[in-house]
Amino acid sequence: MTRPIRAARYLAGLGVGLAHTFLALWAGVAAGTYAWQHGITLPLPLDFSASAAWNGAVGFGLLVAMGVLVWPQPWMTQVRRLVQGRPLALCPTCGGLTEPAADHTTNTTVKELAR
């Protein structure tokens, strides 16, 4: 019974990552469209060709898409791990995200539960 639940939680975690990726792609396309419609180009030393508007739209779209992918990544990792049932905790020594410490105070083996 736990394998289907674990598989469903894993797929839901992948769905969170997929939704984040689609959000980044949508933001990049929207930013590129905005740059194209408003004539935003790359700075002159970088692009002075006839296709400056196109290059500006692509560059602006890529910049926004990468920002949407990279900036909220720690939060997305926490959400994905929560959905999967494996939450992350702050490390008390380094302050980074890590697996929570295992609770060894409870007796969970079959031999110890029978006593």
- The mean pLDDT of the chain is 83
- Provide CB contacts within 8 A for 60, sequence distance 6+: 31, 32, 34, 35, 40
User: What is the structure's pLDDT at 48?
Assistant: 67
User: What is the structure's pLDDT at 114?
Assistant: 53
Higher pLDDT, residue 36 or 48: 36
User: What is the structure's pLDDT at 108?
Assistant: 60
pTM of the predicted structure, to 2 decimals: 0.72
- Provide CB contacts within 8 A for 38, sequence distance 6+: none
